[in-house]
């Protein structure tokens, strides 16, 4: 393993990118994630690993630069925050439609519109349901620590290349700005042109070789039957993600009667809330979805058969609650699913969570 350091979440994204053999980063400044590109520019990875770093003229341009480079088989990424991700929605849809791998980091801030620069989780729907036009999904990873900001860059690329699908690291302003100790990863070399040809020669548009047909990166298909077949292939891919790559963490769930469901920074608050609730004699556990898509619906369905209820804790108006309700319903269960959250950039306190749990779920 690499060295142990005290670093900011956003800085770690940059360091992890360099260390995992990333070929390029294209971005545009926006609070609260500008340190990603600032760190990269200060690190000058082009001298060290040959990684390209470019400040684009807009988020629209940066995601399309990612498209161009990704379509040549390169390992490339961008980062932004909520309003910038909205601008990228077009490009993300094209990347998903053209089946290209890349990593997109969203360090969320409150919305809608220009909203606030304070942390939020209000882009849940946008991230897990697609975000742009057409039937597609991103692989969505929700880090809850600076360590996971490090780990999910490499994981995001691994999953993106496994499925030829964009991965999103859905962080928030708190995780991006906080400083924590982090065990950095070892350096992995960037792939050589020969390795890219050998591994991705069937689709990479890196110059037509005599031994293969020309490759075309496109999401366009005018033949409706073929377009439907493409859509079906995408759906099979999403089903495979659901079967093979769901990640979650359970904390004190074994004997729990009530389950808090929370991701990212909310899950850290909920860990403390679980302790407080347990001290008060309530049997509460925490389920932390790590992949928001694919969503851990199976474990929720299994829990639904033995617990008395769920409560999601989200920094939004209640978005993930819909997926929890679906998971409970799909398991044929009818236990209550409640929501507690704060908006506008406010992080809930553990005692607020416990109070809500008592009022909404457990009863007086």
Q: Does residue 222 come out as left (phi exceeding 0), alpha (psi in the -120 to 50 range) or beta?
A: alpha
Two tokens at 48? 């060290």
Query: Quick check: 79 binds another protein (CB under 8 A)?
Result: no
Query: Using the rule CB under 8 A, is 67 a contact of another protein?
Result: yes
Interaction residues for another protein, span 16-55 (CB under 8 A): 23-24, 26, 52, 54
Cα–Cα dist 289/96, whole Å: 23
33 vs 145: CA distance, rounded Å: 15
Nearer to another protein, 98 or 286 (CB): 98
Give yes or no for residue 232 binding another protein (CB under 8 A): no
Q: Which of 37, 61, 160, 313 binds another protein (CB under 8 A)?
A: 61
How many Å separate Cα 265 from the centre of its chain? 13
By CB under 8 A, residue 127 contacts another protein: no
Among 42, 48, 58, 351, interactor with another protein by CB under 8 A:
58
The tokens for 237 are: 């891919």
Q: Does 211 bind another protein (CB under 8 A)?
A: no
Whether cis (ω within 30° of 0) applies to the bond prior to 112 is: yes
| Among positions 42, 114, 198, 208, the unique one binding another protein when judged by CB under 8 A | 208
Short-list 75, 124, 120, 105, CA closest to 10: 105
Contact 316, 343 (CB under 8 A): yes
**Does 225 engage in binding with another protein (CB under 8 A)?**
no
H or E segment and range at residue 5: strand 4-8
Tell me if 1 contacts another protein by CB under 8 A: no
Place of tokens 């891919």: 237
Shortest Cβ 93–another protein spacing (Å): 8
Q: At what angle do helices 224-244 and 146-163 cross, to 10 degrees?
A: 140
Separation of alpha carbons 292 and 303, rounded Å:
18
Residue with smaller CB distance to another protein, 199 or 306: 199
Closer residue to another protein (CB): 98 or 140: 98
In this complex, which beta carbon is closest to another protein, that of residue 74 or of residue 137? 74
**Residue of 181, 199, 209, 233 that binds another protein (CB under 8 A):** 209
Q: Is 68 in the site for another protein (CB under 8 A)?
A: yes
Residue 72 vs 266, nearer CB to another protein = 72
Find the length of the chain: 364
Quick check: 70 binds another protein (CB under 8 A)? yes
> 209 and 197 in contact (C-beta within 8 Å)?
yes
Q: Is 10 in the site for another protein (CB under 8 A)?
A: no
**Which residues in this chain contact another protein in the complex, by CB under 8 A?**
23-24, 26, 52, 54, 56-58, 60-62, 64-72, 74, 76, 90-91, 94, 98, 205-210, 214-220
């Amino acid at each position: 393993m690499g060295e142990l350091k005290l670093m900011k979440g956003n800085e770690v994204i940059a360091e992890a990118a360099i260390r995992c053999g990333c070929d390029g980063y294209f971005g545009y400044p926006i609070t609260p994630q500008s340190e990603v590109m600032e760190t990269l520019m200060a690190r000058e990875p082009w001298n060290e690993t040959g990684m390209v770093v470019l400040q684009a003229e807009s988020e629209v341009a940066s995601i399309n630069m990612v498209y161009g480079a990704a379509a040549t088989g390169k390992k490339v990424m961008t980062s932004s925050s909520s309003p910038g991700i909205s601008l990228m929605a077009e490009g993300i849809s094209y990347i998903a439609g053209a089946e290209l791998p890349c990593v997109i980091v969203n360090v969320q801030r409150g919305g809608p519109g220009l909203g606030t620069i304070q942390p939020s989780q209000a882009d849940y729907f946008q991230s897990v349901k697609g975000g742009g036009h057409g039937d597609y999904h991103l692989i969505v990873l929700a880090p809850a620590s600076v360590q996971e900001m490090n780990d999910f860059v490499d994981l995001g690329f691994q999953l993106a290349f496994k499925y030829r699908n964009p991965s999103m690291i859905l962080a928030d302003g708190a995780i991006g700005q906080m400083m924590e100790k982090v065990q950095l990863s070892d350096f992995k070399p960037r792939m050589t042109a020969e390795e890219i040809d050998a591994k991705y020669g069937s689709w990479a548009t890196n110059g037509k070789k005599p031994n293969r047909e020309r490759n075309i990166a496109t999401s366009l298909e005018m033949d409706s039957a073929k377009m439907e077949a493409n859509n079906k292939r995408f759906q099979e891919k999403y089903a495979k993600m659901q079967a093979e790559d769901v990640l979650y963490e359970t904390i004190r769930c074994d004997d729990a009667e009530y389950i808090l469901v929370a991701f990212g920074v909310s899950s850290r608050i909920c860990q403390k809330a679980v302790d407080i609730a347990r001290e008060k004699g309530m049997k509460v556990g925490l389920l932390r979805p790590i992949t928001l898509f694919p969503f851990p619906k199976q474990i929720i369905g299994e829990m639904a058969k033995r617990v008395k209820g769920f409560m999601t804790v989200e920094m939004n108006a209640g978005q993930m609650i819909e997926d929890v309700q679906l998971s409970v319903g799909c398991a044929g269960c009818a236990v209550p699913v409640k929501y507690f959250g704060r908006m506008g950039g406010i992080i809930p306190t553990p005692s607020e969570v416990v109070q809500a749990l008592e009022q909404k779920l457990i009863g007086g």
